[in-house]
Copies of this chain bind each other. A is one copy, B any other.
């Protein structure tokens, strides 16, 4: 609900993905265009997805879409920084469209929708850890979990 056409945004994402392919010196094929379209759709919804799911969906609109093709494309886009990894509360790792700089996500435990956030671990916390553990900290992963407004208004049950 509350999804009204912000197609400019969708176009922007689509263009970003397509250009990521080109930038990496890769050919623009029919399959990759379809993948880009599906990702733009997912990006608009802020949904996370597994590669397998993405393939299953794509196969619905094109029965010949090869599984390996989708897996290969997702790998390339992860490497290109167009996709991010998002870890769900059960430990399973999914993906999300998300170029840009360092950031984290809040994922709704009801509908799996994710939202990017600027919030990050304060430098003092990192400094304190570094001091007590003597580790040199050079990276971190932070995932927040919660319930989005619409899942809350729908009661305790899941959305998607």
User: Which A residues are within 8 Å of any B CB, using their own CB?
Assistant: 85, 87, 89, 91-93, 106, 108-109, 115, 117, 119-122, 125-126, 128-130, 132-149, 152
Contact = CB atoms under 8 A, between A and B. Distances in A.
Given A87-B91, A141-B141, A133 B117 contact: yes
B93 A121 contact: no
B139 A89 contact: yes
Given A121-B142, A133-B148, A134-B148, 6 more contacts: A106-B137, A109-B139, A117-B129, A140-B144, A141-B143, A141-B145
A93 B143 CA distance: 14
20 contacts: A85-B91, A89-B139, A89-B141, A91-B93, A106-B133, A108-B135, A109-B139, A120-B125, A121-B142, A122-B122, A135-B147, A135-B149, A136-B146, A136-B152, A137-B145, A139-B146, A140-B142, A140-B144, A141-B141, A141-B143
When all copies of this chain in the complex are counted, the total is 2
A115 B135 contact: yes
Contact of A87 (B87, B138, B149): B87
Given A93-B91, A125-B119, A144 B134 contact: no
Nearest to A93: B91
Nearest to A128: B119
B133 A140 contact: no
Contacts of A91: 85, 87, 93
